[in-house]
């Protein structure tokens, strides 16, 4: 028993592209305003500082812990529960007074803070984690992180430009920037801590979102070459419909594992999983509405995509 | 149609078999173990093994096995409690000269280790441990080098009786001023002869005649490299004393040193060691005082009683001539005149002047080198093991002053090349070549490490089950085949990670989880294509064929872009990010294999070459 269901133009995506543009534009605007207005809650990976995670045998009295630290000379420490109510996270900003200290002074801070708490807490506390990042290393990481994102974008621009056509390369970069800005926007707007794993996740979002975009582009190119009739808008619509099932299924399976990671992966991996969840959702949307709408807006036509044997077709359409 | 040639089927089978074999070591338990190593002089032999097992049996501690390795013993236990108890017993029984370090050792059968199959190497965030990034102050190293050259040049000019008006230090060299041009040129030649590694330029400056001796870039690089190497050597010597199994001390970039101590729990101890000050002192021997009297408690005023490394008592003057941080270099070699091993020592300017003053007055008297180090030792007090900091002072060399000397001198007449090498190492190991600073620390306690493993493992498993269920429901028979590929992919990732001995970190596990979600993408692409083909009326066999064929280029394109992102992540990232990039990269490659070649082999086996009316897709 054969089923024949037309997959052509079931959903007219491209007619809504103006609306999508306004929607995306508004979100990007909000994100950028937030970048400058609220900034980011950068983790110590980037700002430098000390982070200590301490496990207690029973539920912690946060105020008591704060008092102990306060009296021990750590007035600028922030203390919060971490994951469970018997785990606390202490963050200390990079302190100025020890800046000129000897080889290990700055790194010693964590030992002193833990010793204070341990003495007050009965001596059976568990030093679960210490992270100390010097401000120099933090600055380097920030610079490297920015560079990494830039190089990833350039590498992808070159690859897509070679493999497809410059309009596709531009379109995919527009979609990528869109996705990255929105993911960063969520972290800025809600002041979710931005640490090294989150940066890794943002770079992975670049990879994922592109993956999605490429699949759609591949189909658009194929259809432009194959279909005799139809305006670019119709062809793109048809391509989107054909790839829609795949786009949704892959996003769904990826989201399934990401939610597993978000819920079960532990506190340290939360930000990472969240960035990817936002990235996958945004990336799925952008491969349809941003990447595809962008190539359409850039004026893609049948002639641009004919196989390379028929050279010369590109000449009439270069800006 | 849809038949795979034999070689392709064999390839799939072979890859799966290899994957299973190399992933296998990971299912074995990690035994709590104690690794015992010994000083070079003592060594480890069958006797040591007997002593160890004897001591453990006497103390009633159950152990699994005592394995003899290359200059090390590995004692395995069933329980961590046994391991802890044994650590105390062994520290007491073996005493000085042995280092026993607690570690985890996988209990992998010999036939597996024989073919190089080992479990994945767990990063510090999973096994617990201390990671420290140390920055070496290279500017200070250069300043020290300039100091050294300035004093050496002064000495040279004085020796040659060339009168200079001033020696000034530049950021990268030395500038010497003379009163007349002829003398300046003479001096320039002399300096050029003596210091071939410096760039010598001359110029006239307002009536002054100037020679500038600057370090070329090559020399500066050498100075930096030397400082870094020296610091690594010193740190390694110190860290080895800590008793941590498999410590990693290596260079990172041009001026950083990474120290990683897997399983270590006390970051304070490491910081003590890093800031420890081992140093040296040159002192004159008190030849008038009576050693026997001193041993009886009547130490002459102005002197102090020391011991040599062999335990012989010796009386030294309290006055210190130079200290270790004035030693700029010490190298062992062969004395060309006598042919005996020797050590050449260089002092900085101040040290050289002081040394010259003292030696001029004390020709033919013996001078000694005292090595001073703060060591942590373990002792038994009332049945309890107590760690104690101890100042160790011992005389490592005594030699006669043959003639007055300054900042460069040789200790000759050493017994062997080994002795010369050891002395040079000790002379250098005292002080760090350049100041260090801890710029990053990441300590993960063992409880958090285990939590990370558990949570990571659970996320992978739950994620896997969810995706497998979805695929089976949505694509039916083909979904089950994709599930098979997914599990195989996971096995392959683990196998490749084990083979490469790449470090698995928590973000690395996150990378695996992400790969599980994304790996089915290739199959989704293929299956959707097959469905499309069926919809347009192709036969099942043709649909399968076309589905795989048409999806291929899309899959490759889509994955290459993710590979680019993974590569960028790898090249820019530090530790944890690298771990994520590695698993993502490997995961993409293995998933392409399993999702394209692997599923096709199964699909061909199920449907190929038969008459099929309907596909369960």
- The confidence score (pLDDT) of residue A1 equals 41
The DSSP bridge pattern shows strands B327-334 and B313-323 to be unpaired
Between residues 21 and 50 of chain A, which touch chain B (CB distance below 8 Å)? none
User: Residue A59 in 3-state DSSP?
Assistant: coil
pLDDT at residue A310, as a whole number: 44
Query: Which string of DSSP letters, residue by residue, matches chain A?
Result: -------TTSS--GGGHHHHHHHHHHHHHHHHHHHHHT--EE-HHHH-EEEEEEE-SS---HHHHHHHHHHTT-TT-EEEEESEEEEEEEEEPPPSTTTT--TTHHHHHHHHHHHHHHHHTTS--EEEEEEEE-HHHHHHHHHHHHHHHHHHHHHHHHHHHHHS-HHHHHHHHHHHHHHHHHHHHHHHHTT-EE-HHHHHHHHHHHHHHHHHHHHHHHHHHHHHHH-SS--HHHHHHHHHHHHHHHHHHHHHHHHHHHHHHHHHS-GGGHHHHHHHHHHHHHHHHHIIIIIHHHHHHTT--GGGGS-TTSTTTTGGG--
**By C-alpha distance, which of B345, B346, B357 is closest to B149?**
B346
d(CA B302, CA A312) in angstroms, rounded, equals 97
B19-64 pLDDT, tens per residue?
999 999 988 877 888 888 776 566 777 788 888 888 888 888 888 8
Whether residue B397 is contained in a domain is answered as yes
Residue percentage of chain B with pLDDT more than 90 = 20
Gyration radius of chain B over CA positions: 34
> First CA to last CA across chain B, in angstroms?
19
Same domain, B602 and B469: yes
| Radius of gyration of chain A, Cα coordinates, nearest whole angstrom | 25
Q: Do A207 and B267 touch (CB under 8 A)?
A: no
- Asked if residue B347 lies in contact with residue B328, where contact means CB atoms within 8 angstroms, the answer is yes
Q: How far apart are the C-alpha atoms of B351 and B353, rounded to whole Å? A: 6
Average pLDDT, chain A: 84
Whether residue B500 lies within 8 A of chain A, CB to CB, comes out as no
Higher local confidence (pLDDT), B77 or A1: B77
Q: How far is A218 from chain B (nearest CA, A)?
A: 6
Residue B560 confidence (pLDDT) above 60: yes
Q: What is d(CA B378, CA B92) in angstroms, rounded to the nearest whole number?
A: 8
> How does residue A312 score in pLDDT terms, banded at 50, 70 and 90?
very low
Contacts with B467 from chain A: Cβ below 8 Å: 253, 256-257
CA distance A5 to A241: 12
Residue B481 pLDDT level (bands cut at 50, 70, 90): very high
Whether B458 and A264 lie within 8 Å, measured CB to CB: yes
Check which CATH number belongs to the domain holding B96 and give it: 3.30.70.260
How many angstroms separate the CA atoms of B116 and B499, rounded?
Answer: 8
Between A82 and B332, the higher pLDDT residue: A82
| pLDDT exceeds 90 at position A183 | yes
Whether A218 sits inside 8 A of B560 (CB atoms) is no
Same domain for B504 and B355, yes or no, is: no
For testing the chain B interface, which of A7, A55, A86, A107 should be mutated: the one with the most B CBs within 10 Å?
A107
Which residues sit opposite B378 in a β-bridge? B387
Query: What CA–CA distances, in Å, run from B332 to B368, B423, B427, B430, B491?
Result: 18, 8, 10, 16, 53
* B145 within some domain: yes
Looking at the structure, tell me whether residues B463 and B578 fall in a common domain: yes
pLDDT of residue A37: 94
**CATH code, B299:** 3.30.1360
Residues 6+ apart with CB under 8 A from A312: none
Q: State the pairing for strand pair A126-133/B436-444.
A: antiparallel
The number of helices, as runs of H, and strands, as runs of E, in chain B is 17, 22
Q: Is A318 on the interface with B (CB under 8 A)?
A: no
Is residue B52 located within the same domain as residue B18? no
Residues A184, B459, A269, B510, Cα dihedral to 10° = -70
Q: How far is CA B383 from each of CA B88, B92, B95, B379, B386, rounded to the nearest angstrom? A: 10, 10, 15, 9, 9
CATH number at residue B172: 3.30.70
Among A160-169, B22-31, B116-125, B262-271, which is the least confidently predicted range?
Answer: B262-271
Nearest to B521 among A102, A130, A250 (CB): A250
Mutate to test the interface with A, among B456, B558, B591, B616 (most CBs of A within 10 A): B558
pLDDT band at B102 (very low <50, low <70, confident <90, very high): confident
| pLDDT higher at B243 or B364 | B364
* Number of other CB atoms surrounding residue A316 within 10 Å: 9
Q: Buried (b) or exposed (e) across B361-399, using 16+ Cβ within 10 A?
A: ebeeeebbbbbbbeeeeeeeeeeeeeeeeeeeebbbbeb
State the pLDDT at residue B42. 66
Task: Give the closest-approach CA distance of A274 to chain B in angstroms.
Answer: 12
* Pairwise CB contact (< 8 Å): B568 & A203: yes
Q: How many domains does chain B have?
A: 4
Chain B residues inside the 8 Å CB shell of A152: 564-565, 568-569
* Residue where one domain finishes, among candidates B198, B220, B242: B220
- The residues in B 267-286 lying below 8 A from A, measured between CB atoms, are 267-268, 271, 274-275
Q: Which residues of B touch A264 (CB under 8 A)?
A: 455, 458-459, 462
- What residue in B sits closest to A127 (Cα-Cα)? B445
Of A242, A264, A276, the CB nearest to B462: A264
For chain A, the maximum distance between any two Cα atoms, rounded to a whole number of angstroms, is 81
From residue B260, give the alpha-carbon distance in Å to each of A111, A130, B245, B359, B583: 18, 14, 10, 45, 21
B373 strand-pairing partners? B392
Chain pair A-B, CB pairs under 8 angstroms: 242
Nearest Cα neighbor of B239 from B356, B325, B95, B129 is B129
Residue A184's CB is within 10 A of a number of other CB atoms, namely 22
- The domain that holds B544 is classified in CATH as 1.20.1640.10
Residue B217 in contact with partner chain A when CB distance is under 8 A: no
Q: How far is A26 from chain B (nearest CA, A)?
A: 28
What kind and span of H or E run contains B411?
Answer: strand B408-411
Domain assignment present for residue B127? The answer is no
* Residue listed under structure tokens 């392959």: B492
Of B432 and B25, more confident: B25
B197 class by beta-carbon count within 10 Å (0-12 exposed, 13-18 middle, 19+ buried): exposed
Q: B140, B440, B591, B592: best mutation site toward chain A, by most A Cβ within 10 Å?
A: B440
Residues 187-206 of A with CB under 8 A from B: 196-197, 199-200, 203-204, 206
Q: Do the beta carbons of residue A197 and residue A271 sit within 8 Å?
A: yes
Given this model, what pLDDT does residue B282 score? Answer: 87
Summarize pLDDT for A52-64 with one digit per residue, the tens: 999 998 888 889 8
Rounded Cα gap, residues A87 and B470, in angstroms: 36
User: CB-CB: which of A55, A155, A218 is closest to B564?
Assistant: A155
* Least confident among A4-13, B158-167, B309-318: A4-13
Q: Is the pLDDT of residue A285 over 90?
A: yes
Give the closest-approach CA distance of A204 to chain B in angstroms: 7
Place of tokens 């897509």: A160
- For residues B164 and B180, give the distance between their C-alpha atoms in angstroms, rounded to a whole number: 9
- Mean pLDDT lowest among A154-158, B379-383, B521-525: B379-383
pLDDT band at B547 (very low <50, low <70, confident <90, very high): very high
From the list A3, A55, A159, the residue facing B561 with the nearest CB is A159
Asked if residue A311 has pLDDT above 60, the reply is: no
Same-domain check for residues B456 and B532: yes
Interchain CB contact of B245 with A (< 8 Å) = no
Q: Is the pLDDT higher at B462 or at A148?
A: B462
pLDDT at B546 over 90: yes
E strand or H helix at B144, and its extent? helix B138-159
- Answer yes or no: are the C-beta atoms of B322 and B151 closer than 8 Å: no
What residue has token string 């097992």?
Answer: B53
Residues of B (538-557) whose Cβ lies below 8 Å from A:
553-554, 557
Q: How far apart are CA A51 and CA A71, in angstroms?
A: 18
B289 & B405 share domain: yes
| E runs forming strands in B127-278 | 129-136, 166-170, 173-178, 199-205, 208-214, 248-252, 256-262
Q: Show which of B177, B198, B220 is a domain's final residue.
A: B220
Distances in whole angstroms, Cα of residue A187 to Cα of each of A261, A278, B9, B39: 18, 10, 48, 54
Beta-ladder partners of A131: A51, B442
Contact A286, A276 (CB under 8 A): no
Q: Length of chain A, please? A: 319
Q: Is the pLDDT of residue B128 over 50?
A: yes
- Tell me if B439 is assigned to some domain: no
Tell whether A100 lies on the interface with B, counting CB pairs under 8 A.
no
Question: B97-111, B515-529, B559-573: lowest mean pLDDT where?
Answer: B97-111
If asked whether residues B603 and B463 sit together in one domain, one would say: yes
By the CB < 8 Å criterion, does B473 face chain A? no
Would you tell me which residues 584-613 of chain B have a C-beta closer than 8 angstroms to some C-beta of chain A?
584
Answer whether residue B143 is part of any domain: yes
Q: Is B363 helix (H, G, I), strand (E, B) or coil?
A: coil
Domains recognised in chain A with CATH numbers: 14-42+138-317 (1.20.1640.10), 49-133 (3.30.70.3400)
Test A258 with B470 for CB contact under 8 angstroms: no
Q: B391 and B510 share a domain?
A: no
For residue B238, how many other CB atoms are within 10 A of its CB? 21
Listed by number, the residues of chain B in 125-184 with a beta carbon closer than 8 Å to a beta carbon of chain A are: 132-133, 135
What is the predicted pLDDT for the residue at A106?
Answer: 63
Helices A232-264 and A270-286: angle between axes, nearest 10 degrees? 170
Establish if B493 touches chain A: CB-CB under 8 angstroms.
Answer: no
Residue recorded with tokens 């499309």:
B532
Question: B62 lies in a domain?
Answer: yes
Helix axes B599-607, B6-23, angle to 10 degrees: 130
Regarding whether B164 and B47 lie in a shared domain, the answer is no
Do B514 and A276 make contact, defined as CB atoms within 8 angstroms?
Answer: yes
Please calculate the CA angle B529-B531-B536 and round it to the nearest 5 degrees.
95
* Residue B399 contacts residue B366 (beta carbons within 8 Å): yes
Interface test with B, best of A146, A158, A264 (most B CBs within 10 A): A264
Asked if the model's pLDDT at residue A313 lies above 50, the reply is no
* Residues of chain B contacting residue A250, judged by C-beta atoms under 8 Å apart: 518, 520-521, 524
CB A196 within 8 A of CB B578: no
Domain co-membership, B214 together with B291: no
pLDDT 10s digits, B387-425: 556 677 888 888 888 888 888 888 877 777 777 777 776
Of B443, B568, B581, the CB nearest to A155: B568
- What's the pLDDT at A262? 93
Q: Which of B379, B402, B418 is the last residue of a domain?
A: B418
Closest CA–CA distance from residue A213 to any residue of chain B (Å):
8
Would B146 be classed as within a structural domain? yes
Q: How confident is the model at residue B531 (pLDDT cuts 50, 70, 90)?
A: very high
Q: Is residue B12 part of a domain?
A: yes
Domain match, B371 and B488 both: no
Res. B380: pLDDT tops 60: no
Calculated CA dihedral for residues B417, B421, B427, B431, nearest 10 degrees: 180
Backbone angles phi, psi at B433, to 5 degrees: -70, -25
CA distance B518 to B563: 13
A98-126 tens-digit pLDDT = 444 444 556 677 888 888 888 888 778 88
Residues B143 and B168 in one domain: yes
For residue B73, the enclosing domain spans 30-107
Q: Between A95 and B481, name the one with better pLDDT.
A: B481
Is A104 in Cβ contact with B274 (below 8 Å)? yes
Task: Extract the tokens encoding B280.
Answer: 């040296």
Residues B309-339: pLDDT tens digits?
A: 777 888 888 888 887 767 877 777 888 777 7
Q: Which of residues 199-238 of A touch B (CB under 8 A)?
A: 199-200, 203-204, 206-208, 210-212, 214-215, 218-219
Whether pLDDT at A27 is above 90? yes
* Average pLDDT across chain B, whole number: 84
pLDDT band at B295 (very low <50, low <70, confident <90, very high): confident
Residue B616 near residue B587, CB atoms below 8 Å: no
């Amino acid at each position: 028993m054969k089923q024949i269901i037309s997959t052509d133009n079931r959903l007219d995506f491209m007619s809504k592209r103006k609306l999508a543009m306004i929607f995306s534009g508004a979100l990007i605007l909000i994100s950028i305003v937030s970048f400058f207005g609220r900034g980011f809650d950068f983790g110590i990976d980037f700002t430098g500082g000390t982070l200590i995670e301490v496990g207690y045998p029973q539920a912690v009295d946060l105020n008591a812990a704060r008092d102990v630290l306060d009296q021990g000379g750590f007035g600028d420490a922030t203390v919060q529960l971490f994951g469970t109510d018997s785990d606390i996270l202490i963050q200390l900003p990079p302190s100025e007074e020890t800046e000129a200290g000897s080889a290990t002074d700055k790194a010693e801070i964590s030992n002193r803070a833990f010793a204070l708490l341990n003495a007050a807490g009965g001596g059976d506390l568990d030093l679960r984690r210490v992270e100390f990042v010097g401000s120099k290393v933090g600055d380097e990481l920030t610079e490297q992180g920015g560079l990494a994102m830039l190089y990833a974008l350039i590498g992808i621009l070159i690859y897509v430009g070679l493999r497809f056509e410059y309009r596709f390369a531009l379109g995919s970069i527009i979609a990528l920037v869109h996705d990255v800005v929105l993911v960063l926007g969520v972290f800025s707007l809600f002041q979710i801590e931005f640490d090294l794993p989150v940066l890794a996740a943002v770079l992975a979002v670049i990879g994922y979102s592109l993956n999605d975009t490429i699949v759609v582009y591949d189909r658009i190119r194929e259809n432009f070459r194959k279909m005799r009739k139809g305006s670019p808008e119709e062809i793109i619509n048809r391509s989107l419909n054909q790839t829609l099932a795949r786009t949704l299924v892959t996003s769904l399976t990826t989201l399934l594992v990401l939610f597993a990671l978000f819920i079960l992966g532990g506190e340290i991996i939360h930000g990472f999983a969240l960035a990817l969840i936002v990235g996958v959702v945004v990336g799925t949307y952008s491969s349809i509405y941003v990447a595809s709408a962008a190539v359409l807006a850039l004026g893609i036509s049948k002639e641009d995509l004919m196989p390379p044997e028929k050279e010369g077709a590109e000449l009439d359409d270069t800006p | 149609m849809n038949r795979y040639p034999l070689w392709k089927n064999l390839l799939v089978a072979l890859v799966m078999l290899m994957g299973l074999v190399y992933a296998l070591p990971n299912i074995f338990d990690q035994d709590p173990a104690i690794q015992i190593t010994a000083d070079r002089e003592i060594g480890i032999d069958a006797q040591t093994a007997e002593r160890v097992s004897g001591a453990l049996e006497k103390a009633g501690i159950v152990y699994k096995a005592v394995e003899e390795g290359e200059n090390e013993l590995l004692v395995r236990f069933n329980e961590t409690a046994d391991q802890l108890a044994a650590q105390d017993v062994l520290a007491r029984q073996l005493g000085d000269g042995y280092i026993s370090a607690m570690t985890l050792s996988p209990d992998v059968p010999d036939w597996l280790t024989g073919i190089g199959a080992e479990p994945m190497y767990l990063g510090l965030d999973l096994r617990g441990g201390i990671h420290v990034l140390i920055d070496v102050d290279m500017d200070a190293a250069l300043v020290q080098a300039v100091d050294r050259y300035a004093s050496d040049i002064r000495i040279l000019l004085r020796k040659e009786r060339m009168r200079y008006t001033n020696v000034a230090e530049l950021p990268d060299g030395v500038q010497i001023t003379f009163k007349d041009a002829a003398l300046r040129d003479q001096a320039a030649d002399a300096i050029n002869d003596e210091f071939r590694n410096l760039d010598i330029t001359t110029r006239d400056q307002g009536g002054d005649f100037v020679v500038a001796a600057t370090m070329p870039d090559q020399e500066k690089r050498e100075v930096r490299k030397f400082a870094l190497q020296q610091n690594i050597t010193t740190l390694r010597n110190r860290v080895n004393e800590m008793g941590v199994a498999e410590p990693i001390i290596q260079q990172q970039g041009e001026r950083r040193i990474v120290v990683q101590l897997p399983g270590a729990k006390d970051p304070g101890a490491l910081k003590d060691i890093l800031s420890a000050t081992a140093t040296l002192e040159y002192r004159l021997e008190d030849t008038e005082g009576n050693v026997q009297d001193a041993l009886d408690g009547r130490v002459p005023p102005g002197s102090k009683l020391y011991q040599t490394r062999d335990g012989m008592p010796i009386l030294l003057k309290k006055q210190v001539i130079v200290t270790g941080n004035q030693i700029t270099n010490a190298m062992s070699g062969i004395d060309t005149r006598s042919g005996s091993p020797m050590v050449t020592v260089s002092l900085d300017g101040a040290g050289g002047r002081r040394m010259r003053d003292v030696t001029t007055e004390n020709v033919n008297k013996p001078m000694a080198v005292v090595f001073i180090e703060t060591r942590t030792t373990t002792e038994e007090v009332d049945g309890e093991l107590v760690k104690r900091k101890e100042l160790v002072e011992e005389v490592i060399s005594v030699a006669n002053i043959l003639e007055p000397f300054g900042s460069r001198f040789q200790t000759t007449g050493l017994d062997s090349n080994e002795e010369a090498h050891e002395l040079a190492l000790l002379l250098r190991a005292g002080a760090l070549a350049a100041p260090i600073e801890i710029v990053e620390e990441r300590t993960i306690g063992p409880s958090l490490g285990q939590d990370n493993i558990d949570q990571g493992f659970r996320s992978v498993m739950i994620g896997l089950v969810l995706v497998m269920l979805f695929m089976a429901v949505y694509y039916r028979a083909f979904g089950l085949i994709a599930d098979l590929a997914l599990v195989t992919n996971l096995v392959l990732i683990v196998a490749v990670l084990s083979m490469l001995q790449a470090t698995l970190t928590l973000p690395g596990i996150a990378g695996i989880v992400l790969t599980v979600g994304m790996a089915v993408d290739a199959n989704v692409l293929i299956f959707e294509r097959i469905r499309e083909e069926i919809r347009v009326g192709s036969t099942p066999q043709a649909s399968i064929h076309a589905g795989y064929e048409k999806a291929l280029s899309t899959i490759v394109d889509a994955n290459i872009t993710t590979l680019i992102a993974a590569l960028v992540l790898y090249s820019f990232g530090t530790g944890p990010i690298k771990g994520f990039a590695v698993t993502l990269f490997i995961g993409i490659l293995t998933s392409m294999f399993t999702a394209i070649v692997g599923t096709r082999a199964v699909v061909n086996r199920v449907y190929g070459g038969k008459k099929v009316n309907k596909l369960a897709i």
